[in-house]
Structure formats: structure tokens, C-alpha cells
A and B are shown apart, each in its own frame.
Chain A
Amino acid sequence: MAGPVAWPLRVGDCCANADGSSCIILANAEKAKALSKKPVWVLGIGAASEAVNMAARPDFTRGLSVGYAAAAQAYKMAGITAKDVKVAEVHDCFTIAEIMSYEGLGFAPMGEGKQLIREKTTYKEGKIPVNVDGGLLSKGHPIGATGGSQIRTIVLQLRGEAGPMQVAGEPDIGLVHNIGGVGLYGNVTIFGR
């Protein structure tokens, strides 16, 4: 195995250390309309946590439990299902993390997340484009700034201002999936225009 880090993950499967920053302007509806011609709205939020210790986790086959729990909360609050999401940014800190996120978000049934990549469903031209900005692995993962960077990409997509990375079909609902620690906590945010 070339460049092993932690079997079966190799260097190319893992994010390198990176520096970066991001900024979000958050305002109430009245202010948002005054500040922006194309405000993007937060439709739903979800947040979940899990045990720090690996040994305190009931199950490893479901991937990250926080992804499932945060997604369920956010979908419920937004009044939508996974099928309504037109574009998404997910926390691919490792290659496997992106596949697990598909399953947690309900884009694919458990154990079948890999099919979305094989069938190019989550490619830019696919049915549900994911990480069209390159994701954490390609764009860089400055911890702390990553979540804001993911929101920035979705905001540009919903405004139709994403340039070469703009997905087709004028997306009206976007999703951000962010994980912290070793799946210690997860946040899912759903945006609309």
C-alpha cells in the first residue's frame, strides 16, 4: 500500500493540514432583504453528538450516527426529504466520509453510497451534485473555516452565481453537511432561495 496513513486509507484519501478562513453574514429576514438582492434562507438545521470513545459507540456499520440524526432533524424542520435536495456540500475529510455522508443524508441506502460515485450520480452533471467545489479533499480543510466555506458554495449555487462550478437546473434547495472530531458531532443545514 503506497503512502499508508491508517489502513485502508492512504495519503490521497486524507485531508492535509491547511490554513484558511471564511465568513458568513447572518441577519433577520428584514435586514437580509436590505443587505442583499438575492438573500439565501436557512430552511432547516440539525445538530447531533456522539460518544468521544470509539468503544462507547453502539455500532460501526451505520457510518457516523451524527450524520443520520442531524439530517433527520434538518429535513423535518425544512419540511423536505432527501429527494428535494438539488445540490449538496458534504464533509469529505476522508474519502470514506463522503460515502458515509450519502447514506446518513438518505441519498443512498446503507452500504450503497459507493454506487452514487460509480454511477456518477453525485458528479456535477449528475442527479444530485455533491462537492462541486472540490470538497474538503481538493479545496482544502482549514478546520473551523470549512463549514463557512461549504455554506459559501451552496449560497453561490442557489444564487446562480457559481461560475464554472454552477450546476444546471437552477437549484432551489441546497444542503451543507459538516462533521467534527471523529464523528463526535454533526451539523446539517438546509438552504433555500
Chain B
Amino acid sequence: MGFEKFGRKSFTAITKTAKFVDLLTEGKIEGTVCKDCGAKFFPPRADCAKCFSKNMEWFEMPQKGQLETFTTAYYAPLGFEADPPYTMGVVNFGSGLKLFARLTKEIKPEEVKVGMDVSIRPLKYDDGQLSFEVIKA
């Protein structure tokens, strides 16, 4: 499977990290870690952005982090018209590992707080597109 299955709208057909989508199909949300310097990346990188090594492997993202910042969007670009309002934010897992994603609609806007404990899970849209979302821890 290529990368076209990923995201509400995918603009990327093929990448060196296409395995990310296969893993997502299996219910796993994984990033890459550099075997040489230990730097972790999410979204996954095929090569290390810190030491430029190609010696990378996959690792499963932690289950628990804290919401570092967020916003609720009431406007969406072409292709996303049906989605607003939706809340997105950055989850901090510590040690420099962060993730940027939408929050599940199950979390009510008034419940969203900076610093709240959150988790992540794979997401399948009605049209079969794959993604991941932030949920309550």
C-alpha cells in the first residue's frame, strides 16, 4: 500500500516511509528512531535529520503524553469543507518527541486544556482514508 491512503486528503503517493501506512492498517502508530544517534521522529523520517544517518528503525509511539497547545479551526481549505469545527494540537511525549494531530470529536471543546493527559489511536474515515487522532488518556 502506498501513502495515498493516508490523511483526510493525501498529496503524497509514494515515500520512503510508506510502511507507516501499513503499520497504521495493523493498528500501530509508529515513528522512526536513528540507530546511530537515538533521535526519534514523528512523522517518521527515512533519514536522520540530526546526524544524517540512513540507519533507522521503527518504534511504537508512547501511549501517554500531554497536550502542549491547541486550536479549534472554524475554517478549512479545499477538500476539508465538511470537517470544521475541529480541534488540533501538539502532544508532547517528552524527550523531544511530539506529535501534531486532530483531537477526536468525542472530546468536547470546553474539555480541552493545555497540559491534559492524552493518548493517540488510529483513525479510519468513512471513505476509507487512514489517519490517527488524539484521544483522552
Contact = CB atoms under 8 A, between A and B. Distances in A.
B90 A55 contact: yes
B42 A6 contact: no
A6 B75 contact: yes
B74 A54 contact: no
**Majority secondary structure, A binding face:** mixed
Interface in B72-125: 72-75, 85, 90-91, 96, 98-100
Q: Tell me whether chain B's interface is mostly helix, strand or loop, or mixed.
A: strand
B98 A56 contact: yes
Nearest to A1: B74
* Size class of the contact patch on chain B: 10 to 19
A4 B85 CA distance: 10
A96 B85 CA distance: 21
A7 B100 contact: no
Contacts of B75: 5-6
Contacts of B73: 5-7
Given A7-B74, A55-B42, 16 more contacts: A4-B85, A5-B73, A6-B71, A6-B72, A6-B73, A7-B72, A7-B73, A53-B43, A53-B100, A54-B90, A54-B98, A54-B100, A55-B100, A60-B68, A60-B69, A60-B90
9 contacts: A6-B71, A6-B74, A6-B75, A7-B71, A7-B73, A55-B98, A55-B100, A60-B68, A60-B69
Interface of A: 4-7, 53-58, 60
